[in-house]
Amino acid sequence: MIFYLLRRIVYTVPIMLGVAFFCFLLVHISPGDPLVAILPPDASVELQRQLMTLYGFDRSWPEQFFGWLWRALQGDLGTSIATGRPVADEVFRAVGNTLMLACLATLIGFLLGSLFGFVAGYFSNSWVDRAASALSVLGVSVPHYWLGMVMVIVFSAWLGWLPPTGAGPGGSDQWAWDWAHIQYMVLPAVTMSVIPMGIIARTVRALVADILAQEFVVGLKAKGMTDSGIFLHVVKNAAPTALAVMGLQLGYLLGGSILIETVFSWPGTGFLLNSAIFQRDLPLLQGTILVLAMFFVLLNLLVDTLQTAIDPRIQR
């Protein structure tokens, strides 16, 4: 198992290099000169050249890539063209907010999804099953940005229960664990949870139905095992896969939160990406994408590692 893990880690390195190279390329596939966005139209040639050197756009590609990679490894993701602040600072401030939201959403999605999936799998082919399956199809089909809007319409505009946008009273960006702040998180987190909920419900339903249909479970029943005993047995067998799916979903939410953060003006990485795109702040775009993608790759590795550790059947 140790060898499997080592191999898995070694295998991850080229993927990470490739991901880094792709992020590096992002700046180069974009049309036009990124400096144009910040330069006044009448900027002198001298000023242009200075800025070119400052951002490193005048050197050769490999030189730029490895220089960029080396600096990125040391935590230097460059300077935001729009704000003039280090990209790393901007990203790490935002990533905490996104992580908080994505974790809460994954948790809600996992709990509800497992519940629906379990009930559906336990009573497979009954009306409960069909209802839960329909719900999970709705979950994976709904445009979540639209669902966010509907949530705001219902719970803020109509019922007035929860604040529509932002991450704290008066647009504060200082997070605190009190109701004044938490209530801002409810709508985006619930909206976001719909996607993992549908997928986890599907997975758990299939797992449970599968385990219950296996001969050894029939044998356990024949031997007079109680329902709660069988329940425990099913949970034990379904948990590793369900947890792995949950981990991956967390990764997808981290990367996919941009639309929901935009709807709710949540000050996370999605919001950051949005402003990077509209101000054509390419270093910021590049840095944010790099951090999120690396997070996703590492999360995949972690999920694989944990799954190998938990599930004795996977001994590659």
Partner 1 sequence: MTTLNAGAAPAPVYERSAGFWSGVLKKLARDPVAIGAAAVLLALVLIALFAPLITPHDPYQTSLLKRLRPIGFENFLLGTDELGRDLLSRLMLGARLSLFMGIVPVLIAFVLGSAIGILAGYAGGLANTLIMRTIDVLYAFPSVLLAIALSGALGAGIGNALLSLTIVFIPPIARVAESVTTQVRGRDFVEAARASGAGAFTIVRVHVLGNVLGPIFVYATSLIAVSMILASGLSFLGLGVRPPEPEWGLMLNTLRTAIYTQPWVAALPGVMIFITSISFNLLSDSLRSAMDVKN
Partner 2 sequence: MSIGMSVEHIGADIHGDRGGPAQPLLSVRGLVKHFDLKKGFLETLTGGGKVVRAVDGVDFEVLKGETLGVVGESGCGKSTTARLLMHLIDPSAGEIVFDGETVGSAALPLREYRRQVQMVFQDSYSSLNPRLTIQDSIAFGPQVHGVPRREAITRARDLLARVGLEPRRFAERWPHELSGGQRQRVNIARALASEPRLVILDEAVSALDKSVEAQVLNLLMDLKDEFGLTYLFISHDLHVVRYISDRVMVMYLGKVAETGPAEALFDDPLHPYTRALLSSMPSMDPDRRTEEAPLAGDPPNPIDPPPGCRFHTRCPFAEPVCAERVPALEERAGRQAACLIHEADAGHSRNPTAIYAA
Given a contact cutoff of 8 angstroms between Cβ atoms, the answer to whether 100 and 261 are in contact is no
Q: Does 194 bind partner 1 (CB under 8 A)?
A: no
Q: Which does 293 bind (CB under 5 to 8 A by kind): partner 2, partner 1, none?
A: partner 1
In the complex, the smallest distance separating the C-beta of residue 232 from partner 1, rounded to whole angstroms, is: 30
Residue type, 235: V
Look up residue 219 and give its two tokens.
């044998």
Residues 266-285 that bind partner 1 (CB under 8 A): 273-274, 276-278, 282, 285
**CA distance linking residue 260 with residue 140, whole number of Å:** 15
User: Closer CB to partner 2, residue 11 or residue 161?
Assistant: 11
SS3 86: strand
**CA distance linking residue 116 with residue 111, whole number of Å:** 9
Of the candidates 1, 6, 9, 15, which one interacts with partner 1 according to CB under 8 A?
15
User: Closer CB to partner 2, residue 2 or residue 73?
Assistant: 2
> DSSP label at 214?
S
Look up residue 7 and give its two tokens.
């191999």
In the complex, the smallest distance separating the C-beta of residue 14 from partner 2, rounded to whole angstroms, is: 14
Q: 132: how many CB neighbours lie within 10 A of its CB?
A: 25
Of the candidates 4, 57, 252, 310, which one interacts with partner 1 according to CB under 8 A?
252
User: Closer CB to partner 1, residue 195 or residue 234?
Assistant: 195
Q: Which does 6 bind (CB under 5 to 8 A by kind): partner 2, partner 1, none?
A: partner 2
Residue 86, strand partner residues: 79
Helices (H), the chain: 2-29, 45-55, 61-73, 87-122, 127-141, 144-151, 179-213, 215-222, 227-256, 258-264, 269-278, 282-310
Where on the chain is the footprint of partner 2 (CB under 8 A)? 3, 6-7, 10
Residues 16-35 that bind partner 1 (CB under 8 A): 18-19, 21-23, 26-27, 29-31
Give the interface with partner 1 as residue ranges (CB under 8 A).
14-15, 18-19, 21-23, 26-27, 29-31, 137-138, 140-147, 149-150, 152-153, 157-158, 251-252, 254-256, 258-259, 262-263, 273-274, 276-278, 282, 285, 289, 292-293, 296-297, 300
